[in-house]
Structure 1
Amino acid sequence: MNRWQLPKGRILAWSFIPVLVGLIVYSGYRGTVSNSSSDVPQGVMNESANSANEIPVPAPQSTGGTIVNVIKPNQQETHLDKITQERQFERELELVFGQHKPVAESLELKNFPSPVEGKVIRNVGNYYSKAFKNYIFHAGIDYALSEGTVIRATRGGKVVFAGPDAFLGQKVTLDCGEGWFVTYGGLDNLRVQEGEVVESQDALGQIGFFPGSEGESDQPQLHYEVWHDGQVQRPS
């Protein structure tokens, strides 16, 4: 019977083998899990951790599709402030350069009123001239005024003529733009010269003692003409 008995040391050695194998298997499993976790990029892990704190904000459409910008909560307030400032700046530009900018009105006959309130001696139209013994077209309005009366421009413009005229004494003609020309005749002591730019109500000269338009009246008078695109106008 004694020959089938094993030494106690050998029995302990064989009983320890399963434990050692279990430890080896467990260590290999832990190493595999560790390697799998290390293969995940750090950026992906950070994105997953922060995805709950990010707010997607759609940007304007583009030809390639919709572009989405991602703004974190701590950046949202700054982003909204920037948008508000940009919209305010756009409104200010629109007020200066957009549809709110005043549009200049085209000139009309009403923009050339009579420069004085004197008695009308002769109006626009044909009349019979005793001096010429024929009908003559009168292109303006003659107002009876006192000698020395200061005449002022009804509208600003560039002086294209300032000097003597065979029929009107001293006269001044202004180019007011857009095809409008105004002539003031029967003047003296001219205050402007050719090439000068004058403003509305600037003094042009004074009524002189000239024997009237076409030399048929001894009454000092203002001869006032308004033309537009080569056509005589009848100012009111």
Structure 2
Amino acid sequence: MIRWKGSWSWILVWSCSLLMGGLILCVGYIEALSNVSKKSGPELMKQKAQPVVAQGISPNQQSPATGLNVESKTQELAGTTKSPPESIADFPSPVHGKVLRGIGNYYSETLESYIFHSGQDYSEPEGTIIRATHRGKVVYAGTDSLLGQKVVLDCGHGWVVTYGGLDNLRVKVGETVEKQAALGQVGFFPGGEGVNHQSQLHYEVWHDNKVQIVGTSEGAI
């Protein structure tokens, strides 16, 4: 009986020691978590309050290369590409070929009568890519009995531009094309407007229903 009493006493002593040790560890772990949350809370709030700057440049920051405001420069470029036309000077010739026929009346052997030629015909090799001289909306893109295939752009403020003698059109009605956008290629169409049966570009500009003389600062017929 004495031997059993001694064994039970040691068991109770060890059990109490283990229980106290466990309690001490739990209390220490809870205090550590509390301290971490108190420190990280304000730091997270500071991080959320800081603004995020995309691509490392603030919208109002100046460019080190030019010294110009980045946002202002972007708006300036957008205004340049979408600004409405003001005069015939905004519609230069799209090519540098020889002028085969200018604006005026001429006798058409095909129609056997005099007709008014409202544009300028430029000698250009077949396949030459023709690009828009000004931004505009496509109001016509298809076949013409005298010009072969043509594209007509409404550039706004009463300005309308026609590109004739084309082939392989790259635009459709309803599209808005930017300046220098490809419209098509010069084709070979020996129709009523043809000269010497060679490939050529027909280019005409109208403003408020008056044909304009390309290559001048002012003037209309």
TM-score bucket of the superposed structures, by smaller chain? 0.5 to 0.7
Q: CA–CA distance in 2 between the matches of 1:132 and 1:170? A: 19
Matched, 1:156 2:146: no
- Cα 1:212–1:223 change in 2 (3 A) is farther
1 or 2 for the larger relative contact order (CA 8 Å, sep ≥6)? Answer: 2
Give the conservation status (yes or no) of the 8 Å contact 2:111–2:192. no
Q: Once the 2 structures are TM-superposed, how far is the Cα of residue 213 of structure 1 from its aligned partner?
A: 5.1
Question: Which residue identity is paired with 2:210?
Answer: Q
The equivalent position to 1:191 in structure 2, one of 170, 174, 194, is: 170
Q: Percent identity?
A: 62
Written as runs of structure 1 = structure 2, the 5 A alignment for 1:1-236 is 107-212=86-191, 214-236=193-215
Q: CA–CA distance in 2 between the matches of 1:208 and 1:106? A: 28
Q: CA–CA distance in 2 between the matches of 1:141 and 1:213? A: 14
Question: Which residue identity is paired with 1:225?
Answer: E
> Which string of whole-angstrom CA distances, capped at 9 and with x for unpartnered residues, describes residues 51-70 of structure 1?
xxxxxxxxxxxxxxxxxxxx
Ranges of 4+ aligned residues in structure 1 off by more than 4 Å: 102-106
Give the conservation status (yes or no) of the 8 Å contact 1:125–1:139. yes
More strand by share: 1
- Cα 1:105–1:196 change in 2 (3 A) is closer
What's the counterpart of residue 65 of structure 2?
none
Question: Which residue identity is paired with 1:209?
Answer: F
Question: Which residue identity is paired with 2:182?
Answer: A
- Cα 1:138–1:106 change in 2 (3 A) is closer
Measured on the aligned residues, the alpha-carbon RMSD in Å equals: 2.0
TM-score after normalising by structure 2: 0.58
- Cα 1:138–1:144 change in 2 (3 A) is same
Give the conservation status (yes or no) of the 8 Å contact 1:143–1:221. yes
Larger radius of gyration: 1
Q: Once the 2 structures are TM-superposed, how far is the Cα of residue 127 of structure 1 from its aligned partner?
A: 1.1
Q: Once the 2 structures are TM-superposed, how far is the Cα of residue 132 of structure 1 from its aligned partner?
A: 2.7
Give the conservation status (yes or no) of the 8 Å contact 2:107–2:114. yes
- Cα 1:160–1:169 change in 2 (3 A) is same
> Which string of whole-angstrom CA distances, capped at 9 and with x for unpartnered residues, describes residues 22-55 of structure 1?
xxxxxxxxxxxxxxxxxxxxxxxxxxxxxxxxxx
> Which string of whole-angstrom CA distances, capped at 9 and with x for unpartnered residues, describes residues 97-120 of structure 1?
xxxxx9967510000010000010
In terms of mean alpha carbon deviation, does 102-111 or 194-203 score higher? Answer: 102-111
Structure 2 unmatched runs, 5+: 1-71, 73-78, 216-221
